[in-house]
Amino acid sequence: MQKQRRLKIIAASLVLLSGMVFLGYAMLKKTSVRHFTPALLVADQGKVDDQLVQVDGLISEGSSEWDAANFKLTFAVRDRESAATVNVIYKDRLKPDNFVDGGSVFVEGRYDASENLIVATKLMTKCASKYEGAESAIPTDETSYISQ
């Protein structure tokens, strides 16, 4: 009697544990985000259709359009080393202040392979000029300090 009860508890525990592992795996797969360059995303587009992706590159010159009335930004991200591009739509949010053609950009969203389009949920820009010359302001030896 005791042995049967113990086996039932072990079986129920295994079923419960299996279910938890399956749910954990399913949730992880659904929320995981893969990182790409535009060239790699275009090359793997069949494998990542309708999945969350992260892409970083440069904003293609002349590709950006800002519709301020509808809070809709459209542009293309180009690869740093090739001509590959991915179209992006970023809506219902404000356009970042330092968003400029040719600037560096990081985009996260759902990818539609048939349209080569990312519907972005996150958009980050990087302003390189803001950080240029920062090293030159730091003295490198004692002679660069003004003595009193």
Whether this model's pTM surpasses 0.75: no
Question: Do the beta carbons of residue 76 and residue 88 sit within 8 Å?
Answer: yes
Contact 75, 88 (CB under 8 A): yes
Domain ranges of the chain: 31-129
What is the C-alpha separation between 88 and 86, in angstroms, rounded? 7
Q: How far apart are CA 118 and CA 42, in angstroms?
A: 11
- Identify the pLDDT of residue 128: 57
Do 137 and 74 contact (CB within 8 A), yes or no? no
pLDDT tens digits, the chain, 148 residues: what are they? 788 888 888 888 888 888 888 887 777 666 668 889 999 998 988 888 888 999 999 999 999 999 999 999 999 999 999 999 999 999 988 888 889 999 999 999 999 999 999 999 999 998 655 544 444 444 444 444 444 4
Domain covering 31-129 in this structure, CATH number: 2.40.50.140
